[in-house]
């Protein structure tokens, strides 16, 4: 968008992709007003979908309803510049670490 003679205004569109059964966090994010010059798109699903994961700018993976394998697949599928945010309870992280240690032993 051009404003005045030599000034240009930028635009930034961000695609959010939430994976999980509990959509409270997504609803909160959707309710936030975008910053000036920003627009948002929101996608959601119960299980990871490759077509959405490869397009998303921000992926919110809720481990309350996903396993570590699903989160790993999202990490491999996402575009390099995308952010993967894993939402987990403390106990889930501890259990996954313990499981990893058992596999190594």
Ordered structural domains, the chain, with CATH = 2-104 (3.40.50)
Contacts of 39 (CB under 8 A, 6+ apart): 11, 12, 13, 14
Mean pLDDT in residue range 78-85: 95
pTM: 0.78
Burial class of residue 64 in the structure, from the number of CB atoms within 10 Å of its CB (0-12 exposed, 13-18 middle, 19+ buried):
exposed
pLDDT in tens, 10-28: 788 999 999 998 888 888 8
- Give the SS3 label for residue 6: coil
């Amino acid at each position: 968008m051009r404003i005045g003679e030599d000034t240009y205004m930028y635009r930034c569109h961000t695609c959010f992709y939430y994976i999980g059964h509990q959509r409270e966090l997504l609803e909160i994010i959707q309710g936030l007003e975008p910053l000036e010059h920003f627009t948002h798109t929101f996608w959601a699903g119960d299980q990871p979908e490759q077509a959405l994961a490869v397009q998303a700018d921000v992926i919110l993976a809720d481990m309350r309803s996903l396993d570590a394998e699903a989160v790993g697949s999202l990490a491999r599928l996402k575009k390099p510049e995308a952010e993967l945010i894993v939402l987990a309870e403390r106990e889930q992280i501890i259990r996954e670490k313990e499981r990893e240690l058992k596999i190594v032993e």
